[in-house]
């Protein structure tokens, strides 16, 4: 009799696994996702992206978005990048006020959205990889930016259109050419089209994952990517004043005040890469061409091309050409 019962239980678990994660595309108002439950996840309708808690070790967790079918969870966005939460008692909650709030085990607020509308009904993970707040009517809150900073996967056709068939070339490096483009939401971007020098999907996804987890005012921001058939492209913010090289070696003298600001900002960006970000990065190709300047001559370090990670340097990513 006991063996028969065990056989029935085995049959049930085979067809109805108890540990299987429940697939949800949205989080209703008043609900939470707990760090302690691997089954509490949000998945985009096309199942390309998943949202939940990503952990390293026992007591360091981040509320994140990653590629569902990627090996070891290729993370593209983190809410609490510089402040991981405990592996027990931490949770993300969509409150009745419409704000999405991440709390640690002691109840302290680690991260929250700056929500203004009161008719927010749910948080939803879209096919683009964006986590947005929606009202009861299904519309995204007016004036509210995607929680995940609109990091997204672009189609090749969309980027080809944005660049007018890759017409306006901004520059060219060892890993490919960079083109100026305007996306459908009228955002001016710089699109790097990776060439034959860039080898393999593993390196591409590693760069997307690493740069997607990096956020600093003195580092060029990546808005998204394209991985379609043989095409590999990265979409970055566009900097109005181009590279430092064009100002250092031009007829117009760059004032010492601006030179000091550029030197200090570059140092801050490198310090963040070397010591402060989640996955330490060594950029082995820092030069004037790879330091871009915004409209206020604030520097942003750019041009990360993935190289081999030296043995024993498990916490480092090394970027070089």
Residue numbers belonging to the annotated binding site: 192
DSSP string, 134-194: EETTSPBPTTPPPTTTT-EEPPHHHHHHHTTTTTSEEEEETTEEEEEEE-TT--EEEEEEE
The yes-or-no answer on residue 285 being catalytic is yes
Task: Name the H helices within the chain.
Answer: 2-15, 156-162, 201-212, 245-248, 256-271
Handedness of CA 248, 253, 259, 260 (dihedral sign): positive
Instruction: List the one residue out of 30, 38, 47, 148 whose CA is nearest residue 96.
Output: 30
- What six digits make up the tokens of 276? 């402060």
- Would you state the structure tokens that stand for residue 280, as one six-digit string? 């330490």
CB 124 within 8 A of CB 26: yes
Point out the annotated binding site for ATP: 192
Of 46, 285, 294, 296, the active-site residue reads 285
Residues belonging to the active site: 285
């Amino acid at each position: 009799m006991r063996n028969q019962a065990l056989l029935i239980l085995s049959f049930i678990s085979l067809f109805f696994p108890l540990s299987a994660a429940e697939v949800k595309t949205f989080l209703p108002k008043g609900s939470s996702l707990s760090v302690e439950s691997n089954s509490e996840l949000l998945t985009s309708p096309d199942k390309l992206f998943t949202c939940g808690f990503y952990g390293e070790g026992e007591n360091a967790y981040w509320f994140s978005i990653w590629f569902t079918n990627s090996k070891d969870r290729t993370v593209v966005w983190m809410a609490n990048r510089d402040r991981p939460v405990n592996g027990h008692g931490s949770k993300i909650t969509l409150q009745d006020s419409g704000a999405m709030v991440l709390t640690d085990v002691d109840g302290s607020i680690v991260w929250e959205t700056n929500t203004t509308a009161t008719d927010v009904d749910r948080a939803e993970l879209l096919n683009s990889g964006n986590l947005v707040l929606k009202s009861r009517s299904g519309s995204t809150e007016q004036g509210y930016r995607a929680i995940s900073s609109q990091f997204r996967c672009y189609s090749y056709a969309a980027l080809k259109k944005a660049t007018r068939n890759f017409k306006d070339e901004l520059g060219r490096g060892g890993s490919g050419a960079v083109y100026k483009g305007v996306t459908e939401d009228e955002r001016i971007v710089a699109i790097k089209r990776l060439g034959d020098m860039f080898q393999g999907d593993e390196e591409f996804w590693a760069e997307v994952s690493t740069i997607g987890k990096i956020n600093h005012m003195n580092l060029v921001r990546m808005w998204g990517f394209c991985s379609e058939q043989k095409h590999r492209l990265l979409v970055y913010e566009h900097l109005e004043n181009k590279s430092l090289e064009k100002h250092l070696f031009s007829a117009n003298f760059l004032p010492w005040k601006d030179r000091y600001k550029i030197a200090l900002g570059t140092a801050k960006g490198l310090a963040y890469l070397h010591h402060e970000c989640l996955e330490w990065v060594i950029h082995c190709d820092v030069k004037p061409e790879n330091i871009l300047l915004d409209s206020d001559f604030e520097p942003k370090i750019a041009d990360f091309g993935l190289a081999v990670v030296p043995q024993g340097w498990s916490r480092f990513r090394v970027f070089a050409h």
